[in-house]
Structure 1
Amino acid sequence: MKFSHPLVPGILVQRYKRFLADVTLADGSSITASCPNTGSMLGLTAPGSRVWLSESDSPARKYRHTWEMIEADLGQGPHLVGINSGRPNALVTEAILDGRIPELAGYVNLKREVKYGINSRIDVLLSGGREDRNCYVEVKNVHLMRSAGEAEFPDSKTERGAKHLRELSSMVDEGHRAVMVFLVQRSDAEKFSLAADIDPAYAAAFQTAAASGVEMLCYRCHLSPTEIRVDKRLEIADLT
């Protein structure tokens, strides 16, 4: 996914009210940007960090800038981390259509945001071509890293995430295929695990869903100020 314009660099002043961030731009001006992330963003909100913002010319927007990435360093040099949790669905969709997720290749139809389960919407619904049954694909954004090279999810308690795992299991029970894709928006990740200490209930729901037949995939992204691209499958440490 290429950005329509290269991202604008700045220095983070603070993140506050969950969805807002104050940033100082290169020319010294201060702006408020939207922060499209509902999680804690653990380890990714330090004042003084270098960040990258996208811009919108829409007159309907209250805030022209959107926080997209932050530079983080866990002792192995700085790496870009994508914090915009609205990007992964489009990134995974693009990767499926481009054939970069072979586990999800071969389907004829792809639809996004389709109602299913109990008052939920599946991120991607695949059907036709590969097999008779539908394939329900849920996507989660991953950016937490507490130990160098190991991406983790979630970064805060997520009952909604556990609900999605239960609903994927129900699709398997109905004879469909169900896949959870953890998309790591950081190129310094070499493996993936669950942050069970942060949300034990989600970790338990993960194991239950995996045992019921829900397939678990993790892919990593390459990031730059001009593009984010799904590029590599990662091992999931918690699959038993």
Structure 2
Amino acid sequence: MRFDPPLISATLVQRYKRFLFDAVLPDGTPFTGSCPNTGSMRGLTTPGSKIWVSEHDSPTRKYRHMFEMIEVGDETIGINTGLPNRLAEEAIRAGLIPSLANYPVIQREQKYGRNSRIDFLLSGKGLPNAYVEVKNVHFSREPKLAEFPDTVTKRGAKHLEELGDMAEAGHRAVMIYLIQRHDCESFRICTDLDPLYALAFERAKARGVEAYAVRCRVSPMAIEPAGLVPILG
């Protein structure tokens, strides 16, 4: 996906109240914007960092600017949790996840499980339905290694349990970890920050849930799925 209009650069002052951030434009103009990521954003909120923001002039928006990316060292990292579903769909349609490439029908936000909605329901003649959940990933503590989650996520564990139910009911159940950075060559579940999620992941795999990790090329011009990386045990 390409950004149109292009993103603009700024310097981060602070991210706070989960939904907000303060920054300064290159000409020195300070502003407050919305942060489309309510998670911990561990390691991605350092004051003084160069960030990239989108600009919106809709009269219904309270804040004109939205936080999209941050630069950490030489890497540009996407933080917008509203984008992974779109990027995962691009990856599926482009055949980057070979086991899902033959599904002709992709439906978004379908009801399933325990009063939940699945990110995608894939279907096709002669194919088992595939229930696909997508998680955003941008956390990295070791070179070339992406990790999820970066904090406790009871909701994430619930999703794994519901996917397991689908697998045991005879459907395909798939978890896609969408990595909004390109410097990571492998992926791992973060057992120390959320051991219960790690247990839920192992239980889900044992019940037949498939898992894939897709990294992206990220730049202020575009974010593009780049292919699978291995999931480490």
For Structure 1 versus Structure 2, the TM-score category normalised by the shorter chain is over 0.9
Corresponding residue to 1:157 among 141, 144, 152: 152
Indicate the residue corresponding to 1:177 in structure 2.
Answer: 172
- Give yes or no for the alignment of 1:8 onto 2:4: no
Indicate the residue corresponding to 1:71 in structure 2.
Answer: 71
How far residue 103 of structure 1 moved from its aligned partner, in angstroms, is 2.2
What is the count of residue pairs matched by the alignment?
A: 233
Any conservation in 1 of the 2:96–2:228 contact (CA below 8 Å)? no
Matching residue's letter, 2:5: H
Matching residue's letter, 1:85: T
* SS of aligned partner of 1:172: helix
Any conservation in 2 of the 1:69–1:81 contact (CA below 8 Å)? yes
Cα RMSD (Å) = 0.9
- Give yes or no for the alignment of 1:100 onto 2:96: yes
* SS of aligned partner of 1:201: helix
User: How far apart, CA to CA, are the structure 1 residues paired with 2:189 and 2:96?
Assistant: 24
Indicate the residue corresponding to 2:206 in structure 1.
Answer: 211
Indicate the residue corresponding to 2:62 in structure 1.
Answer: 62
How far residue 134 of structure 1 moved from its aligned partner, in angstroms, is 0.4
Indicate the residue corresponding to 2:189 in structure 1.
Answer: 194
How far residue 98 of structure 1 moved from its aligned partner, in angstroms, is 2.5
Normalised by the length of structure 1, the TM-score is: 0.95
User: How far apart, CA to CA, are the structure 2 residues paired with 1:192 and 1:96?
Assistant: 19
- Give yes or no for the alignment of 1:123 onto 2:119: yes
Matching residue's letter, 2:106: L
How far residue 148 of structure 1 moved from its aligned partner, in angstroms, is 1.3
Unaligned runs of 5+ in 2: none
* SS of aligned partner of 2:127: coil
Indicate the residue corresponding to 1:137 in structure 2.
Answer: 132
Matching residue's letter, 1:225: P
How far residue 204 of structure 1 moved from its aligned partner, in angstroms, is 0.3
How far residue 156 of structure 1 moved from its aligned partner, in angstroms, is 0.8
Calculate percent identity across the aligned residue pairs.
Answer: 57
How far residue 199 of structure 1 moved from its aligned partner, in angstroms, is 0.3
How far residue 101 of structure 1 moved from its aligned partner, in angstroms, is 2.4
How far residue 107 of structure 1 moved from its aligned partner, in angstroms, is 0.9
Any conservation in 2 of the 1:5–1:226 contact (CA below 8 Å)? no
Corresponding residue to 2:141 among 142, 146, 151: 146
User: How far apart, CA to CA, are the structure 1 residues paired with 2:141 and 2:9?
Assistant: 24
